[in-house]
Amino acid sequence: MPESPDFYFQSLQQIRMPYWHTSRVICMGDAAFCPTPLAGMGASLALMSAYYLAGEMSTLKDGEHPQRAFAAYESVFRPIVNSHLPDPSSGPKLLHPAGRVHRWVFQRLITVVAWIVGRMSPADKKNTAENRQPTLMPYAAFEKMAIDGVLLRSSTPIPSARSALLHLQSQRIPFILLTNGGGKTEAERITDLSNKLDIELDTSLLVQSHTPFAELTHLHSKTVLVAGGDGSKCADVARSYGFDNVVTPGDILTAHPEIWPFARNFLDYYSSFARPLPSADPLKVDAIFVYNDPRDWGLDSTILLDLLLSSKGVLGTLSPKNGDASLPNNGYLQDSQPHLYYSNPDLWWASAHPLPRLGQGGFQHAFAGLWDKVTSGAELAHTLIGKPSQATYEFAERRLRAHRKTLFGAPGLNNPLSRVYMVGDNPESDIRGANAYDSPYGSQWRSLLVKTGVFSGSHGDEAPEYARPDALVQNVGEAVKWALSDCGWESKIEKE
């Protein structure tokens, strides 16, 4: 841009835009002209050009030179700027200072007038949150939220859930929804949640208990057993992740009813969704996944036990190494048996029943007891994800960072996360996980416990020390208020 004298105002202190965000903003644009200091036409052009440039910058890819953005900016605003450069000559000379001394006197005059107006303003006399806008940009505060017990309770929206999410969206504060629930595709769950809360949510915001399984690409071409959930929904989820050969306990029972004789009364149910087993006979399973709470503990336990005691995962076989004291683990799981993956350690979950109900964690402990009895105490090697595991929190933070990058893609707006808030209802999963999490990105985590789910106490210190929250609040709305206040950002959440 051609060199030009200093503009009349040294800085633009605040722009109030309730439907975008309420932070302090630095806008750099070419005013080009200003007929009078009070007309604002030059400032308007500066703002328009600044926002246009910011928009172009946000489209740049990582590491891309900003030349393309500046070229687009130049092509749009250069004609406007050039056409208005002669305009100042038409105004009174008093309003267009030319010399250095003249400009200095004029700027001092404007400063004094602004100070007098500010002192006379009633809003300035009130120490309100609106007048105490913090220096921290709102996107320095981040939320991770559980769903069951925080946003919903037995599929019913919890008061303040909708307004809390709307507030985060309106302030452009990145958040994701992290749940130990599952049993359906992310698209199905986010659509269901959006409808219940009457709010638009994107699938990328959701991390279910089994979502990280999608990253196990080395198993996509293998034959895997998927247990848990209603009907074949979990198998459908696995297929959506890229697993090509998925079988369920229902598929096996339908093909071999004798494998669990006590399921005769349920054969009609299983046959309604069962698929034929792979053509290879006998069936060989390379990995076992528990995607969701098993509905038939007897059937699922039997098939899992058969495969873990088998030779190389071949159904109907028994490894000759089992019980061999000369081998590690007394020979158990030493014969290329399939590895066992669990997606959710929660012992309890909040339902419509007044007391918490057993979840996938209950099945895990029951099966561990069965394994211990059958093998006389051999170790059951397995992988457990879901809250409070380190692996799940790392996956969730990567997803949060990706969402943040989508919101603030322009260079300079993606500084490292400094603080993340976990809002949950379960001290043993949500709070424990946040307290123990060691972020590879160096972010600080704080845990907020709500009273709308599993937790039924009155003080946060009733939980073990490792599961005590940084704050105990009534609901998710209060949690968001606490988090924003904690990072110096004050704003009001509208009541539903």
Whole-structure pTM value: 0.70
CB 452 within 8 A of CB 160: no
Query: What spatial distance separates the first Cα and last Cα of the chain, rounded to whole Å?
Result: 49
Q: How far is CA 112 from CA 13, 19, 109, 126, 163, in A?
A: 16, 32, 5, 21, 42
Residues 6 or more apart whose CB falls under 8 angstroms from that of 311 comprise 317, 318, 319, 320, 335, 336
Q: How far apart are CA 167 and CA 494, in angstroms?
A: 8
pLDDT for 472 equals: 95
Q: Report the 10 Å Cβ neighbour count for 249.
A: 25
Q: Which helix (H) or strand (E) holds 425?
A: none
What domains appear along the chain, each with residue ranges and CATH number? 1-133 (no CATH), 138-209+388-486 (3.40.50.1000), 211-384 (3.40.50.1000)
CB 204 within 8 A of CB 402: yes
Q: How far apart are CA 139 and CA 92, in angstroms?
A: 44
CB 110 within 8 A of CB 37: yes
Tally: H helices and E strands in the chain: 14, 15
pLDDT for 23 equals: 42
CB 375 within 8 A of CB 330: yes
How do the pLDDT tens digits run along the chain, 496 residues long? Answer: 334 443 444 444 444 443 344 444 444 555 544 444 444 455 566 666 777 777 777 777 666 666 777 777 777 777 776 666 555 454 455 555 555 666 566 666 666 765 665 566 554 443 333 333 332 333 344 556 778 889 998 788 999 999 999 999 988 889 999 999 999 999 999 999 999 999 999 999 999 999 999 999 999 999 999 999 999 999 999 999 999 999 999 999 999 999 999 998 899 999 999 999 998 789 999 999 999 999 999 999 999 999 999 999 999 999 999 999 999 999 999 999 999 999 999 898 877 888 888 999 999 999 999 999 999 999 999 999 999 999 999 999 999 998 888 877 654 445 667 899 999 998 999 999 999 999 999 999 999 999 998 887 766 667 788 999 999 999 999 999 999 988 877 667 776 6
Q: How far apart are CA 102 and CA 318, in angstroms?
A: 96
pLDDT for 59 equals: 75
Phi, psi of 78 (to 5 degrees): -60, -45
Beta strands per DSSP E along 66-191: 143-145, 152-153, 156-157, 175-178
Q: How far apart are CA 153 and CA 450, in angstroms?
A: 12
